[in-house]
Amino acid sequence: MDVFTSAVDLLRDRHPERPVLALRPHAARRAANWFLANFPGRVLYAAKANDASVIMDALVEAGVRAFDVASLVEIERVARIPDAELYFMNPIKSRGAIVAAYRDFGVRSFAFDSDEELDKIVQETGGAHDLDLFLRLACPNTHSLIPLEGKFGVSSADAPALLLRTRQIARRLGITFHVGSQAVVPAAFGEAIEQVGQLILDAGVIVDAVDIGGGFPSRYPHSDPPELASFMQEIVRAAAELAVKHSCELLCEPGRALVAEAESVIVRVDARRGNALYVNDGAFGTLFDAAYSGFRFPARLVATSRRKQKPLAEFALYGPTCDSSDYLPGPFVLPECVREGDYIEIGQIGAYGRVLANHFNGYGEYDEVILTDEPMLSMYSSTEEPSVATKTKAGRTLPSRPSSDLSETGAGVAPASDVSSWGNAPRSARPLRDTRRCRMRP
Ligand SMILES: Cc1ncc(COP(=O)(O)O)c(C=O)c1O
């Protein structure tokens, strides 16, 4: 794959006809380094968030060896990674997928949320005695922008009996939950871990593992979460209160937080109508969440010649298909002079961007390059200085963070010892700044 120092460098070399997926593997590596150094337990990458081999390789280089997989296709793909440990955490799986996972790929860790699913796992593995079984709890979506509640999870009323039954079957017994994606308040995890603690007391069983799922946030123009260290502190605080804290392993399954920053899409403007830009990627491409989940992504004009970058204006985008829902309200903040033929870099699409793209209307084909510059926004900046505000012509103030002083090690964040000792770390005092609630991913 060709490597460029920036999107400008790319456009000096070529004028791509197709949208370009611009990968920044160093950003994925830095995020993984941070999680491996700061999470007090085992870090699984949720492979559904981004399956590009360059990104997966970067995570593996950083030391990630455990993966949350949701389907047999993901299992087949991830199993090629040497020493990969696979956790089949989709609470509902086909019988065929369970058999193949267990027999052909050596998967021993399975999530489930009902007696029926547990029966399936037991039957399809021939009553195996080497199963690590994770009961998925229902978890209210109190603090996240993409809810994952409703579809999966046993209720707290039904959980104790199911946990007790599973204890008789499992080699290792685990509890898991998902607080929703882009959780913007550390208490989301604290409250869910407290719910786990109560369940353990109610059921009166020893639990060997608590998997706190994904949900860790990234940074977007509409969502400027507190630093990740405050999430770790809250997790450590809550986990320290578990009755099983001395014997129980903690796990997490970040997707978004590991890869959101690691990819941009570079699109071309094919028409401008007022403040609407018609571009060559959209809702049926990598920008699904901008159309259907209320997400805003940072955007910048990629100019190879001197162009006036000010004043700024707010734009909506239309994707390339004939469907009028291929509309991204944004707003995307760009120089007011943007015109047909220009290229725009849209950042932070590394999580759930490429994996949601389809071929509707014959689109969905991309060029791919590696960029070595910094992502447009980052959770892994070396200092936690206040956000730098960008003012648009319409007077709106947008949060953004400089990403020029980032290192691959995640330097400057709380040292590992601050969060890996299960003590009484201070709770985050930063208020919830995100005001929008987003639609459930259809
Ligand atoms: C079981 C499970 N684990 C982890 C994740 C990753 O979540 P996130 O990308 O919010 O970190 C998901 C996302 O849907 C999930 O369903």
Which CATH number is 303's domain given?
A: 2.40.37.10
Ligand 1 mean position, distance from CA 417 (Å): 26
Say if residue 199 is in the same domain as residue 209.
yes
d(CA 265, CA 7) in angstroms, rounded, equals: 10
Report the separation in Å between the CA atom of 398 and the middle of ligand 1, taken as the mean of its atom positions.
Answer: 27
CB 176 within 8 A of CB 213: yes
Q: Given the CA of residue 214, which atom of ligand 1 is nearest to it?
A: 11
Residue 302 sits in the same domain as residue 166? no
Question: Both 42 and 157 in a single domain?
Answer: yes
Ligand 1 atom 7 nearest Cα: 214
Ligand 1 atom closest to the Cα of residue 146 is 10
* 90 and 217 inside one domain: yes
What angle, 0 to 180 degrees and rounded to 10, lies between the N-to-C axes of helices 187-203 and 228-239? 20
Give the residue among 266, 259, 431, 423 at the shortest CA–CA distance from 355.
259
Q: Are residues 207 and 294 in the same domain?
A: no
Query: How many angstroms does the Cα of residue 269 sit away from the middle of ligand 1?
Result: 33
Per-residue pLDDT at 417 exceeds 50: no
Q: Tell me which residue has tokens 């993901």.
A: 74
> 170 CA distance to ligand 1 centroid (A)?
24
From 178, 184, 251, give the residue whose CB has the most ligand 1 atoms within 8 Å, as the site to mutate.
178
What is the chain's mean pLDDT, rounded?
88
pLDDT digit string (tens) for 245-289? 988 999 999 999 999 999 999 999 999 999 999 999 999 999 999
Q: Using a 6 Å CB cutoff, which residues line ligand 1?
A: 46, 49, 68, 89, 148, 178, 181, 213-216, 253-257, 351
Mean pLDDT of 40-61: 98
Here the CATH number for the domain that contains residue 198 is: 3.20.20.10
Q: From the CA of 182, give the closest atom in ligand 1.
A: 10
Task: Answer yes or no: do 189 and 307 share one domain.
Answer: no
pLDDT over threshold 60, residue 425:
no
Mean pLDDT of 117-131: 98
Decide: 284 and 360 in contact? Cβ < 8 Å.
Answer: yes
φ and ψ at residue 440, rounded to 5 degrees: -65, 140
Last residue in a domain, options 371, 404, 425: 371
Q: Is the pLDDT of residue 24 over 70?
A: yes
Domain boundary among 371, 390, 421: 371
Q: What average pLDDT does the segment 12-21 reach?
A: 97
Query: What confidence tier does 150 reach under pLDDT thresholds 50, 70, 90?
Result: confident
The answer, yes or no, to whether residue 439 has pLDDT greater than 60, is no
What confidence score (pLDDT) does residue 382 get?
A: 56
- Its domain, for residue 216, covers 25-259
Provide the pLDDT confidence category of residue 149 given band limits of 50, 70 and 90: confident
Share of the chain above pLDDT 90, in %: 81
Is the pLDDT at 167 greater than 60, yes or no? Answer: yes
- Atom of ligand 1 at shortest distance to CA of 49? 9
Average pLDDT for 298-303: 96
Same domain, 41 and 81: yes
- 401 part of a folded domain: no
- Residue 415: inside a domain: no
Q: Looking at the predicted structure, is the pLDDT value of residue 11 above 90?
A: yes
Give the distance (Å) from ligand 1 centre to CA of residue 101. 20
122 plus 265 within the same structural domain:
no
* 76 and 186 assigned to the same domain: yes
Task: Report which ligand 1 atom has the smallest distance to the Cα of 257.
Answer: 11
- Whether residue 367 lies inside any domain: the answer is yes
Q: Indicate the top mutation candidate among 35, 148, 355 to test ligand 1's pocket, ranked by most ligand atoms within 8 A of CB.
A: 148
Looking at the structure of the chain, the number of domains it has is 2
Distance 178 CA to ligand 1 centre (A): 7
Cα of 181 to ligand 1 centre, how many Å?
7
Which atom, in ligand 1's list, is nearest to the CA of 144? 10
Closest approach atom of ligand 1 to CA 253: 4
The verdict on residue 421 lying in a domain is no
> Is 395 part of any domain?
no
**Residue 247 corresponds to which tokens in the numbers above?**
């014997």
Residue 395 CA, ligand 1 centroid: distance in Å: 36
Which of 228, 259, 290 is at the close of a domain? 259
For a substitution probing ligand 1, which of 181, 218, 440 has the most ligand atoms within 8 Å of its CB? 181
Residue 353, in any domain of the structure: yes
Query: CA 379, 377, 290: angle at the middle one, nearest 5?
Result: 110
127 and 231 in a common domain: yes
Of 126-140, 367-381, 408-422, the one with minimum mean pLDDT is 408-422
Q: Mutation test of ligand 1: which of 68, 146, 261 has the most ligand atoms closer than 8 Å to its C-beta?
A: 68
Selected residue with higher pLDDT from 30 and 442: 30
Tokens of 412: 């400057």
pLDDT computed for residue 151 by the predictor: 86
Residue indicated by tokens 């639609």: 439
Rounded CA separation 211/249 (Å): 8
Q: Per the domain annotation, does 76 fall within a domain? A: yes
Candidates 269, 408, 352; CA nearest to 70 is: 352
User: Is residue 167 in a domain?
Assistant: yes
Residues 172 and 281 in one domain: no
For residue 416, pLDDT beyond 50: no
For residues 299 and 168, state if they share a domain.
no
Q: If DSSP states are collapsed to H, E and C, what string results for the chain? A: CCEECCHHHHHHHCCCCCCEEEECHHHHHHHHHHHHHHCCCEEEEEHHHCCCHHHHHHHHHHCCCEEEECCHHHHHHHCCCCCCEEEECCCCCCHHHHHHHHHHHCCCEEEECCHHHHHHHHHHCCCCCCCEEEEEECCCCCCEEECCCCCCCECCCCHHHHHHHHHHHCCEEEEECCCCEEECCCHHHHHHHHHHHHHHHHHCCCCCEEECCCCCCCCECCECCCCHHHHHHHHHHHHCCCCCCCCCEEEECCCHHHHHHHEEEEEEEEEEECCEEEECCCCCCCCHHHHHCCCCCCEEEECCCCCCCCCEEEEEEECCCCCCCCEEEEEEEEECCCCCCCEEEECCCCCCCHHHCCCHHHCCCCEEEEECCCCCCCCCCCCCCCCEEEECCCCCEEEECCCCCCCCCCCCCCCHHHHHCCCCCCCCCCCCCCCCCCCCCC
How far, in Å, from the CA of 401 to the mean position of ligand 1? 25
